[in-house]
Amino acid sequence: MIPARSALECGGLTPPPEQASESEQGVVEPPHSRRFARHFIWEPKMLENVFAILASTPQKLQRELRDFSPREMKKRPAPGKWSVQEILAHLADVERVGMRDRVEAIVTQERPALDPFDQEKRAVEMHYDRIEPRKSLASLTRQRRANVKWLRELGPVQLRRVGVHKKVGEVSALEFLYEWAFHDLGHLKQILEVKRYALYPQMGNMQKFYQFGQ
């Protein structure tokens, strides 16, 4: 079963249950106290965890994809789902336009408007399916190193600044960092699922223990 597409998914990535519908996280203004708490929670340990995730993603991808053949990179796990090649192109692409540029706008401009991003449209326009996976991974690795270094230099005052996303409303730089790491792990999980599903056809009767499969 392929879940219905929403702006919260990239390449068939399933959103977590609490984000199942876009309307649930619409532009409704939360109560003042929640807004205050939202912007002023400061968890150095959790933030350190976010940096650790961000810093380790390129190596994790490298490790998981070491033995992938070009054919495996190009294979779509199901119709409408991205291939590993497309996932890597997406990660390298959004590293700047989806992530760095937006956080930079939030910390340097006064309540900048953040434009929604049509992931699927961009994948087609930028020909994600034609970009060499190793090039994407090298690009992500290079950008990520610079970005983590830059992000670590941001202080609490900068991280509390906000931008206004046209679809979901106010977002602080700090919240953006959490989403950045969340996005990384989502795509890592997606790649692990591609590897996992590739084992399925060889499982014989043991397939009966699992609901999915074609």
Interface residues with Ni ion (CB under 5 A) are: 10
Q: What is the DSSP string of the chain?
A: -PPPP-TT-STTPPPPGGGSSGGGGSSPPPPHHHHHHHHH---HHHHHHHHHHHHHHHHHHHHHHTT--HHHHH--SSTTSPPHHHHHHHHHHHIIIIIIHHHHHHHHSSS-EE----HHHHHHHTTGGGS-HHHHHHHHHHHHHHHHHHHHT--HHHHT-EEEETTTEEEEHHHHHHHHHHHHHHHHHHHHHHHHHHHGGG-GGGGGG-S---
Q: Which two tokens stand for residue 37?
A: 């708490």
Residue nearer to Ni ion on the CB measure, 38 or 178: 178
For the CB of residue 21, give the shortest distance to Ni ion in the complex, in Å: 18
Q: How far is the CB of 40 from Ni ion (least distance, A)?
A: 28
Pick the closer one to Ni ion by CB: 77 or 161.
Answer: 77
Of 88 and 106, nearer to Ni ion (C-beta) is 88
Q: Which position's Cβ is nearest Ni ion? A: 10
CA atoms of 91 and 189, how far apart (whole Å): 13
- Choice between 39 and 147, CB closer to Ni ion: 147
3 vs 156 by CB, closer to Ni ion: 3
Give the nearer residue to Ni ion in terms of CB position, either 11 or 163: 11
In the complex, least distance from residue 24 CB atom to Ni ion, rounded to whole angstroms: 19
Least distance to Ni ion, CB of residue 202, Å = 30
Compute the least distance from the CB of residue 186 to Ni ion, in Å.
7
Q: How far is the CB of 90 from Ni ion (least distance, A)?
A: 5
User: What are the beta bridge partners of residue 113?
Assistant: 164
